[in-house]
Structure 1
Amino acid sequence: MPTVQTNGIETYYEEHGAGQTVVFVHAALLDHSMWDEQVAALEDDYRTVVYDVRGHGRTGGSALDEYSVDLYAADLHELIVALQLDRPVLCGLSLGGMVAQTYAASYPDRIAGVILADTFTPPILTRGEWFLRRIVLNALTLPVRLVGFERIEKANVWVTERFFSGVGGDYERIERLREDGPSIDTDEFVKIVRSMTRFHELTVDLTRISVPTLVLYGENELPFVKRHAAEIAAHVPDVAVREIPEAGHASNLDRPDEFTAAVRTALTRARPIEKSPPLDEETDSGA
């Protein structure tokens, strides 16, 4: 099982293909397998790297009492350094998009491009968003110890669909991915969820993301996520925004062909690989 040391943990990863490197960062409570269709479609033309974020999948948990998005970004940096990835393109969805934008703002000279899918920035923009990000997500951490996160996730989907009309997605497929992957310990679930509820406490300077950026969101995505797409577009200098038709929050699973086509377009726009800073040198963080 291929692993690499990142900040005191053994991080599981897989790599396929050759050429320009794209690193995929998965959503919360899933694992690297959510990118299987993208990897299969791209590996003949690109080098693809997928990994399990701390607390997830085959990487598993750690002894830390709490996690944060900037910790996940630091783990990603250690992965990139350890694998000697020369200016990869990052592609993150939901939590993965939070990690990717944090990394891109901190280390803009170490990447060639970034794809931010179905994600949001730290600021809370609307009351509905505040309700989901601060009330609903925090409320999940107490009952999960009693009934398990699978039931709590179904309740979360029910609440989301009732409060936000027009929102949808292939939730059954997400459930199957979770059932097929390694189980997540309850304590790890709590740390992962709390890392997301505290994302608003971080400062991510989007204007520092100087590489070509693609923002994706599903047609049936939460309204506040679409607002965050506009927020990113308003601050990132070189950005394109694209809606994935008939897709929900996991747009790469709902419409894999359309999502992968968008990724290919982003990869053609990625900044050509030039001489980058030595991978063993520290770069000042701007986030």
Structure 2
Amino acid sequence: MEEQNLGAETERVENRLIESSATSESGTVRTNDIETYYVRRGDGPPIVFIHGMAMSASEWEPQMEALGDEYTVVAYDVRGHGHTGGSDRDSYTMELYAADLDALLAALDVENPVLCGLSMGGCIAQMYAATYPEKVAGLVVSDTFTAAPLPFTGRLIFANLRFFGLLDRFVRYTTLNRFQTWVGNRLSPGVAGDGTTTQRLMEAAPTISHREFVKIANSMARFPRSDLDASRITVPTLVMHGEDSPAVLRDMHGRLAEELTNADVEFTVIPDAGHASNIDNPDFFSTAVREFLARIASKRSQ
């Protein structure tokens, strides 16, 4: 029996650590009913990055590289995405993504991290910080959305996500993104930012099946009707968006800041950036996050 247990544990370790060194590792850990892929580097206070819809952990490579010298940096593939892949569940929600994240942090022994999420990742970060306020040290949300009451234009964005999910059956999400980028930059120059890099990262990641894409798109479409209570977020929060983001998204960030009634909120506009601001202007983004982390550390030491 002891030999069997030792063999099972050895197999689990080999599965977890696909590649590792003293300062860098990647692999999978069990989180609820899935195996979640993660990358971890560096040593120091932890910061966990959460990618946007149809992207993967590779979206955060500029920030992992920039901040890994001073911090433990973790990025992972959200359920349905990348090397994590899908599951047999019929639908996904932000609450489920937050539960997955909680299981991931426990499996990796990561305590009181700062969460940094962009777009859909920002929604997940908000949900986690509101659900487990005692488990986070800070929050960075960029180019994201709010569950606060929205005007028609804001509601239209979420309604369109369901349409994109259905349309994916006929035109795959990578092609839809390329077309959306082309149209966006012609209607409002700069809104899509560095669309070439974003497109390349999306196409380089493992393909998302149509069934999974529909569940992901619908989870975003339902976000405004979730039980998120932003007033439960009590940690220092940095809200950012690209200066070339559409007016409706800029408005959402203002509404989000208003909803964070019990958090110390900072607001930053990222120059020369559209929706994917961490890719569009990575140096500015990484510096803003580093300075925010330093301010959190300073407040803790007082």
Does TM, normalized by the shorter one, top 0.5?
yes
Q: Which amino acid aligns with 2:232?
A: R
Change (3 A) 1:15 1:267: same
1:152 Cα offset (Å): 2.0
Of 83-92 and 138-147, more deviation after overlay is shown by 138-147
Q: Does 1:254 find its partner at 2:255?
A: no
In 2, Cα distance between equivalents of 1:129 and 1:113: 27
Number of the residue aligned with 1:13:
38
SS for the counterpart of 1:240 is: strand
SS for the counterpart of 1:263 is: helix
1:143 Cα offset (Å): 2.4
Q: Does 1:99 find its partner at 2:99?
A: no
Indicate conservation of the 8 Å contact 2:57/2:76, yes or no: yes
Which of 100, 112, 133 matches 2:158? 133
Number of the residue aligned with 1:63:
88
Which of 187, 207, 217 matches 1:183? 207
Of 220-229 and 53-62, more deviation after overlay is shown by 220-229
1:126 Cα offset (Å): 2.2
Indicate conservation of the 8 Å contact 1:87/1:273, yes or no: no
Number of the residue aligned with 1:269:
295
Which of 253, 272, 278 matches 1:229? 253
Indicate conservation of the 8 Å contact 2:192/2:276, yes or no: no
Q: Which amino acid aligns with 1:240?
A: E
Q: Does 1:76 find its partner at 2:94?
A: no
Q: Which amino acid aligns with 2:136?
A: I
Which of 229, 232, 240 matches 1:216? 240
1:106-121 alignment, distance < 5 Å: 106-121=131-146
Q: Does 1:39 find its partner at 2:64?
A: yes
Q: Which has the higher helix share?
A: 2
TM norm structure 1: 0.90
Q: Which amino acid aligns with 1:213?
A: T
Calculate the aligned-residue CA RMSD, in Å: 1.9
Indicate conservation of the 8 Å contact 1:58/1:182, yes or no: yes
Which of 240, 265, 278 matches 2:266? 240
TM norm structure 2: 0.85
1:113 Cα offset (Å): 0.4
Indicate conservation of the 8 Å contact 2:181/2:192, yes or no: no
Indicate conservation of the 8 Å contact 1:211/1:270, yes or no: no
Indicate conservation of the 8 Å contact 2:146/2:256, yes or no: yes
In 2, Cα distance between equivalents of 1:67 and 1:101: 16
Q: Which amino acid aligns with 1:129?
A: G
Highest Rg: 1 or 2?
A: 2
In 2, Cα distance between equivalents of 1:163 and 1:191: 29
Q: Does 1:85 find its partner at 2:106?
A: no
Greater relative contact order (CA < 8 Å, ≥ 6 in sequence) = 1
Change (3 A) 1:225 1:93: same
SS for the counterpart of 2:40 is: strand
The answer for unaligned runs of 5 or more in structure 2 is 1-17, 19-26
Deviations 1:239-267 (A, max 9, x none): 10000001000000000000000110121
Indicate conservation of the 8 Å contact 2:47/2:116, yes or no: yes
Change (3 A) 1:146 1:159: same
Percent identical residues: 45
SS for the counterpart of 2:47 is: strand
Indicate conservation of the 8 Å contact 2:92/2:215, yes or no: yes
SS for the counterpart of 1:214 is: strand
Indicate conservation of the 8 Å contact 2:133/2:234, yes or no: yes
In 1, Cα distance between equivalents of 2:155 and 2:179: 18
Segments ≥4 residues shifted beyond 4 Å: 158-166, 271-274
1:139 Cα offset (Å): 1.4
In 2, Cα distance between equivalents of 1:235 and 1:123: 7
In 1, Cα distance between equivalents of 2:129 and 2:299: 16
The answer for unaligned runs of 5 or more in structure 1 is 275-287
